[in-house]
Amino acid sequence: MESGDVGYLGLAASLVLVAIALAINLRLRLRLERELVVSVVRGFVQLLIVGAALAIVIDPDTSLLWSWLWVVGIVVFAAATVKRRAPAVPGLFWIALAANGVSAAVGFAVTFGLSIFPVEGRTLVPIAGMLVGNAMKSGIVVAERIVEALSERRAEVEARLALGQPWKQASLPIVRSTLRTALSPQIENTKALGIVFLPGAMTGLILGGAATTTAVTALGAVRRLFTSDHRLVALPRSRRDTG
């Protein structure tokens, strides 16, 4: 197993776990069996395709340009995923693209700039996957939460705006609490390092990347949810008095 290859035995073992999940689902009548099977098959096929493509991309004989293109693909896909999860934020794709791009760039600058790893396809692509994947999760949490919080606390925001506060000041308490919510899982993960999670050289970078993405996404999203004349735009689930 040193090569990291998963043999037929490993594959069978993972299917045992799927079978256990299916059994629990049937026993508790959760009616999730269809979703479960579809997601397993879909994930399996996706991994086969991606794995085959990845094997070619990270082959030492393949130009490094293909690895960089793969990284760009990861960043774009992550931005599209963030956008899909919080469609109420205008222009969120570009905000997430910038946030994920900055996270990846900072991570690469440290990893490769300090020669922690050599710049090769087999390091570049997985590191980008870890950095951007984690940053994407934080970006999704913060973008969704910003929309929810501004919607739920619309009355407070408008009470502040009505006092003549600019949008930045009026939204600050909400941005603060949202950033705390979004970053706390990352901080907890770091605390649990070595106890629950395997220690890894990338942890600091992942936390830093997630923090960067969270801050950039939160501030970018809030900016887009206010008009230039300091009004909060209409948001899903917001209750508007039409009296």
Q: Which is nearer to another protein, 33 or 158 (CB)?
A: 158
Q: What is the spatial distance between Cα 82 and Cα 86, in angstroms, rounded to a whole number?
A: 7
Minimum CB separation from another protein for residue 187, in Å? 23
Nearer to another protein, 84 or 176 (CB): 176
How many other C-beta atoms can be found within 10 angstroms of the C-beta atom of residue 232?
A: 21
Residue 232 CB, nearest approach to another protein (Å): 8
Q: Are 116 and 201 in contact (CB under 8 A)?
A: yes
List the Cα angle 51/53/58 in 5-degree steps: 90
Q: Which is nearer to another protein, 56 or 233 (CB)?
A: 233
State the nearest-atom distance from the C-beta of 155 to another protein, in Å.
5
Q: Among residues 105 and 152, whose Cβ is nearest to another protein?
A: 152
Shortest reach from residue 227's CB to another protein, in Å: 8
What is the rounded CA–CA span in Å between residue 101 and residue 109? Answer: 12
- Residue 208 CB-density burial (10 A; 0-12 exposed, 13-18 middle, 19+ buried): middle
Contact footprint for another protein (CB under 8 A): 155-156, 158-166, 173, 229-231, 241-243
Q: How many helices (H) and strands (E) does the chain have?
A: 8, 0
Question: Cβ closer to another protein: 231 or 237?
Answer: 231
CB of residue 184 to another protein, shortest distance in Å: 19
Question: Are 15 and 29 in contact, with CB atoms under 8 Å apart?
Answer: no
Q: What are residue 26's phi and psi, to 5 degrees?
A: -70, -40
